[in-house]
Structure 1
């Protein structure tokens, strides 16, 4: 007989602690809170990403999958993870739709095993310009199957609601990301005037070139750009093109909380080029600091940061925006950050799964 205890599995990510991105950050900070209200939380992890494979992390069970969670292997990673957790839990939450082809099978097996199936559809992956036309069509099919076959759908930004199928809107719920886990340094370090910071994946849709050109045309004296420069041809080309610009520091990804906090505390501006994909966790985290936030103008960023940020649509607009706001006061953001706490996000997931009302 199946164990009817309250047990949740989150599958489809690299795992915890965070070594990759938004889903992993959510799990690192919210899964331990969720675990306090249920019998067990299991997070499946990409075994290749962790030397330390301890079974428990902050009260959360870790299950290691011998397949990479990103790239083409993610399709099979999700299937493997699903099969491993299915007999062990009452609820499965799939983060992302890269395993969307399996969702009809997932739903059938969940029905047989009386397991609740949910999906977080992420950021409309099928619209991302970095993918080929064929891959976008495949991802759109995966997204369709995931929505149709899930008991509940999570979307992370109100601007994503139009991309939820009309027939599925009644089972969709808005749940964003948390940012209150960020480290604040005390005493607060001095801010470097006329300095800017960006932290993102190095992809065309993150407006990397626009950010750099806008900064170079402005009065800023230094720009630290943290990203995975060596992971793609595009990243290597961008780094090579601007390698002689003395005002720019190119940094590899940073996951150390102390080093990230020092960067965020000491730069006057945060430049954010995210243009597709819903709520960006890095932008949410920056709302908890005191930088001037300048965002590429799109519905996703406006839904996330609202009047707490200023917006641009070109490198020329960005340079003008920088020059006219150097030395000015930071916009108030208290009305926004209350929506992005770990306790609130964890509670939203518990409500979505009907563990609390």
Structure 2
């Protein structure tokens, strides 16, 4: 009988997601409870910011996951470093786990420390972090330098898209693993009350969900929408994790059709996706976007930038505009308004494609296979067990 896996996870902000959360939090919420359901002992580390309610000494059990909260600061970037340092100390001092699942390549320095103490570390890398506009020059430099550690110190590095993996493999002459995100969600019909709360009707709005940061391209989406002659609305869900001039500029729109819905999570977001006329993702940079996949799974037609990651996820089942072009995005939104039947057909095809291709249960199985494979490989060095093949596609 196999010994249960003992897993600790960090690198996200909140478990479960709350205000200021991002894709990493969503990923943790989908993966970690499934790992626990498979019999693993799972510890998730929350960030507790100044002024945030919560007791660092309290330990919660959420969906089978032991949740520990550790204090950090609010300074952008430094909050991650301080939190990760404290988490690393806690894992080592209290021997919380044998397997440590880490998100964000900037945390690779802590992966190196954990490896020195005999932990197997698995880093999920969703893209090329150091080119993201949200970072200062010194943060970009730190992330670029961290990539050298990412490439070499971990038991495995797991990419959610083949493009970033190919770049790392070419650059560092090593092989890495690929596990895409899942997209299947359980739909709660009662959550459609959010439409009444926001004064919306099914099919009466375009939708965007995400952080208000330059990477996400809202400075192209909002002006493109403002030019349209339509009574449909543009619903923007989310905000900036830290106050910013960029968010202020987005919110300065005078177009009353633009609705800022605040932070919404889980079933409320699913209801907004399912009932949207179309979901719009104007990002300049993405990994394999879980938001696009979920929206498509729920039947929303997808209009998105033509970056390779989006095309990889949606294939021919989305409407693409030229990345960075407000004019082309306006043209595609106009086409969507004038061709509702063709748009709906694309939505149905996209839902079928995503349901067949992306499954969270498959994602979980592949992670366990990696964890167990390396466990068996290490055991074989001492004559116990046999090595297991790595998952690779």
TM-score when normalising by structure 2:
0.80
Match of 2:116 in 1: 108
Out of 301, 317, 326, the residue aligned to residue 308 of structure 1 is 317
Out of 328, 331, 336, the residue aligned to residue 325 of structure 1 is 336
- Alignment CA distance shift 1:252-1:187 (3 Å): closer
Out of 216, 222, 225, the residue aligned to residue 226 of structure 2 is 216
Q: 8 Å contact 1:219–1:322 — kept in the other structure?
A: no
1:66 & 1:248 partners in 2: Cα distance?
A: 36
Pick 1 or 2: higher relative contact order, CA cutoff 8 A, min separation 6: 1
2:370 equivalent to 1:352:
yes
TM-superposed CA distance for 1:195, in Å, is 2.4
Residues 93-132 of structure 1: pairs in structure 2 closer than 5 A:
93-110=101-118, 115-132=119-136
2:315 & 2:188 partners in 1: Cα distance?
A: 23
2:113 & 2:104 partners in 1: Cα distance?
A: 16
2:251 equivalent to 1:273:
no
Q: For residues 58-99 of structure 1, what are the alpha-carbon distances to aligned partners after superposition, in whole Å with 9 as ceiling and x for unaligned?
A: 111112212259631211211211221231211111111222
Unaligned 5+ runs, structure 2: 374-387
Out of 175, 179, 184, the residue aligned to residue 180 of structure 1 is 184
Match of 1:23 in 2: 24
1:5 & 1:265 partners in 2: Cα distance?
A: 38
TM-superposed CA distance for 1:251, in Å, is 2.4
The more displaced of 165-174 and 14-23 is 165-174
Match of 2:86 in 1: 80
Unaligned 5+ runs, structure 1: none
Structure 1 SS opposite 2:42: strand
Match of 1:231 in 2: 243
2:43 & 2:190 partners in 1: Cα distance?
A: 35
Match of 2:210 in 1: 200
- Alignment CA distance shift 1:338-1:54 (3 Å): farther
- Alignment CA distance shift 1:219-1:351 (3 Å): farther
2:97 equivalent to 1:89:
yes
TM-superposed CA distance for 1:124, in Å, is 1.5
CA-based RMSD? 2.6
2:335 & 2:99 partners in 1: Cα distance?
A: 51
The more displaced of 54-63 and 182-191 is 182-191
Q: For residues 26-74 of structure 1, what are the alpha-carbon distances to aligned partners after superposition, in whole Å with 9 as ceiling and x for unaligned?
A: 2212211111334411111113466485521111111221225963121
